[in-house]
Amino acid sequence: MNPSPAVASRAVPATPVTRPAPGRPLLVTQGDPCGIGPEIVVRCLAAGEGAPALVVGDIGVIRRAAATTRVACVVAEVEQPEDARDLPPATVGVWRPPGLPDGLERLPLGQVHAAAGRAAASCIEAAARMALQGRAAAVVTAPIHKEALAAAGIPHPGHTEMLQALCARDGRVPPVRMMLATPELRVVLVTIHVALRRAIDLLTRDSVLETIRITHRAEQRQGRATPRIAVAGLNPHAGEGGLFGDEELRIIGPAVEAARAEGIDARGPFAPDTVFMRARRAPGHAGEFDVVVAMTHDHGLIPIKLNGFDEGVNVTLGLPFVRTSPDHGTAFDIAGTGRADPSSLRAAIAMARQLTGAADSLPALSAAS
């Protein structure tokens, strides 16, 4: 089968967005139907978390997940997303987006499958379209599998890149950044899903400065008038004045100086092996910073996942709508066992509600001021 043309070859028109009216549903994509996404979605929505909320996915997949997890709930299909507000308690509503492949509930759990990748992409596209039209309060995405996306011919390695493309307008994609957050630590990444060698090549003064700006605006929209932003270095000990690398002198330091000239409280570059500990908020440790900007994917995500794997939330900054996601993958090794922990998805739903309520108007986390 061919990849979904809606995702693979064109972008959803990024129509102007206004703040959704009260009662608009929070859309939760089912994720890869062969992973734990449907299971944790059922566990959260059956408990009424984030109501009104609706699954964007396949009713057969969600019913299989309900049986797997032994959650006492009714799984009901709705015709339109707005129907979510009329669902009775203990009911998981499912909206089937156009173009979703049939027979998804028969796919083997815990395995990479092209049809699962196509289905995941179709759900993401549909949820983004509803959000762009103002028909959803926010979008929460369950985990997808990068190999399944690739098998389906989807030209994006993950959620962040796909959503960025879907929100393109006039041929231009919005600059976005990934923020990972736990109750104790927040980290924003300059580069994400690329090889480490390529990530270093992508670091420029402008890319670091743009990340600081996006972070500053996003933190302001969450109620921090003057957010304290720490910028991590790239090299050991932040380069030691050029002894261990000069990216701090040529790229990162000048970006921090430019941000400070704009009135942003950015500091650094700091040694990446200690700055996360300095920013961490914990009992008896208030934290020196509100958020850390990290240069590469693993630099930023290792401390986040070590610090609070079950509570981590992924937030995409710069989109014209609120999007959050649990900070873990499809966990194929336990898919179908009913043992999947919904804590991170629960935190992602709570974060989406918080961000939607904190914004005066959408785009809630836009890079535009």
Tens digits of per-residue pLDDT, 171-222? 888 899 999 988 899 999 999 888 999 999 999 999 999 999 999 998 988 8
Asked if residues 109 and 330 have their Cβ atoms less than 8 Å apart, the reply is: no
Residue 11 in this model has a pLDDT that exceeds 80: no
Rg (CA), the chain: 20
Residues 290, 292, 298, 299, CA torsion sign? negative
- The pLDDT, as a whole number, for residue 63 is 96
Query: Across the beta sheet with 53-56, what order do the strands follow?
Result: 74-78, 91-95, 53-56, 26-29, 138-141, 323-326, 313-317, 177-181, 186-189, 291-294, 229-232, 266-270
Q: What is the mean pLDDT of residues 90-106?
A: 92
For 51, other C-beta atoms within 10 Å of its C-beta total: 18
Non-local CB neighbours of 88 within 8 Å, separated by 6+ positions: 74
CATH homologous superfamily, domain 1-175+319-369: Isopropylmalate Dehydrogenase (3.40.718.10)
Give the lowest-confidence range in 2-6, 174-178, 273-277, 324-328.
2-6
Q: What is the mean pLDDT of residues 73-84?
A: 91
* Domain limits, the chain: 1-175+319-369, 177-317
- The pLDDT, as a whole number, for residue 160 is 84
8 pLDDT tier (thresholds 50, 70, 90): very low
Give the lowest-confidence range in 104-108, 166-170, 226-230.
166-170
Peptide bond into 283 cis (omega under 30): no
* Main-chain dihedrals φ then ψ at residue 135, nearest 5 degrees: -95, 5
Q: Is 195 helix (H, G, I), strand (E, B) or coil?
A: coil
Residue 12 in this model has a pLDDT that exceeds 60: no
- The pLDDT, as a whole number, for residue 58 is 97
Residue 282 in this model has a pLDDT that exceeds 90: no
List Cα–Cα distances, 60 to 37, 49, 102, 104, in angstroms: 14, 22, 9, 7
- DSSP code of residue 19: P
For 116, other C-beta atoms within 10 Å of its C-beta total: 29
- The pLDDT, as a whole number, for residue 50 is 62
Closest CA to 43 of 16, 69, 74, 25: 69
Q: Is 174 helix (H, G, I), strand (E, B) or coil?
A: coil
Q: What is the mean pLDDT of residues 92-104?
A: 92
Residue 16 in this model has a pLDDT that exceeds 60: no
List Cα–Cα distances, 161 to 164, 170, 192, 260, in angstroms: 5, 17, 9, 29
119 pLDDT tier (thresholds 50, 70, 90): very high
- The pLDDT, as a whole number, for residue 309 is 66
- 177-317, what's its fold? Isopropylmalate Dehydrogenase (3.40.718)
- The pLDDT, as a whole number, for residue 86 is 85
Peptide bond into 326 cis (omega under 30): no
Residue 85 in this model has a pLDDT that exceeds 60: yes
- DSSP code of residue 271: P
Q: What is the mean pLDDT of residues 258-277?
A: 96
Instruction: Give the CA count within 13 Å in the CB-facing half-sphere of 22.
Output: 0
